[in-house]
Structure 1
């Protein structure tokens, strides 16, 4: 009887010990799959379109008070560049070219009054930029700032008129260089397609150009004269980029 009782106690102890050991053995842990992170590293080509408004401060002509003329209109073009991402920091370079139709005409009269005045027209027809940009990425969303060199081509026309049918046209054009600073937001809509919205400020400083009188009898008295002006403008545009070598 004692032997049976002892055997039962030993069997019960072995069973309890085995259960305890089994409970202490942890099951293998399988980590959850990592969520893919989008990378902005790579190059891209794209297109853009938008609008802008510029300011052109003309040098006054003796006895005339020139109003500042504000050219405005549309722009559209292409851009391309490359980005490199380290952590959340994204740095890159970009080149952009746009055709434009931004113009304005202002009327100028002699300071003391009179029947002769000027119609002054300024028109921007193309521009280009070469910039560096730096941004901070939140996966597929990129906030960035940019800055660099800017180039533009302006056409200028000044018409001297008595507002009664007699007029003399003076025409000139000039390529100018300056700087651009701006910023925007870009969103990777698809693996290789991103959309962006961007604001830029351009400053071309103070430049001179020559207005030449067109074929008119009045040209004999004043065939040409130099003009100086200060120019800047602001633009807002939307763009789309096709990206290469980007991914997770």
Structure 2
């Protein structure tokens, strides 16, 4: 009887403990639900063409060279400009290369006075005004996804109005005028940010050097009604800072996947 009771107790204990012992082992064989990894976000691509607008300010240096032994003070023309640009970029890895053309209307001018010694109270007023300029440049940059750092360089063209006035500062003046279409080079750099897939913003600095250029300053009827013309040489350069916005065609397409 005791053996029968003992066997019953052992059987009851085994039946009670078996689910608790086997449950973890059985659970280990049940596959867990699969959760897919998040989709890779595509990196921004700068490949494509664009058109846009820009605006900013600048300061120029016009060094009028001596004439007949008279030295003149330099003219530091400054002011604003605004215009349009268009170009195309191509991206390989993080390297971005491209070309760009730009045209701007400007109102950058200044007047300076020169009163040379020994001329008997006669002075000269020199005015230099830049009213438009254009550039044709190549760009090369390095892209950090939606941020592009770049440098640029190429040809630059500008149109100036130059004025030379002889005066006694008492009311008698002899105004003479001339215009220039000049060419030189431009170098600069900037940062562009893709705000939207097809819209980017940029900030840019440029240095222009036009070298030394000749200009004929003339008046149709000077003192006594006679026409007169004076040949001048002016050494010219300028610096600009601008902000711009571009609309990009076909931009923002995936370049490579990033995780």
Q: TM-score, normalised by structure 1?
A: 0.87
How does 1:112-191 map onto structure 2 within 5 Å?
112=118, 114-191=120-197
Deviation string, structure 1 residues 188-244 (Cα, Å, up to 9, x no partner): 111111110000000001110111123233563x71111001100000000000110
Contact 1:46 1:79 (C-alpha < 8 Å) held by counterparts: yes
Distance 2:93 2:160 in 1: 42
- Of 72, 75, 86, which residue of structure 1 is paired with 2:81? 75
Distance 2:103 2:198 in 1: 22
Consecutive unaligned residues of structure 1, counting only runs of 5 or more, are: 1-11
| Local SS of the residue matching 1:197 | strand
Larger Rg: 2
Give the C-alpha shift of residue 169 in structure 1.
Answer: 1.2
Q: TM-score, normalised by structure 2?
A: 0.84
1:231 aligned to 2:220?
no
Give the C-alpha shift of residue 64 in structure 1.
Answer: 2.2
| Local SS of the residue matching 1:164 | coil
Give the C-alpha shift of residue 29 in structure 1.
Answer: 7.4
- Of 98, 111, 122, which residue of structure 1 is paired with 2:104? 98
Distance 1:223 1:231 in 2: 24
Give the C-alpha shift of residue 170 in structure 1.
Answer: 1.1
- Of 43, 46, 56, which residue of structure 1 is paired with 2:62? 56
After superposition, the CA RMSD in angstroms is 2.4
Deviation string, structure 1 residues 172-198 (Cα, Å, up to 9, x no partner): 001000000000001111111111000
> Corresponding residue for 1:4?
none
Give the C-alpha shift of residue 26 in structure 1.
Answer: 8.8
Contact 1:98 1:128 (C-alpha < 8 Å) held by counterparts: yes
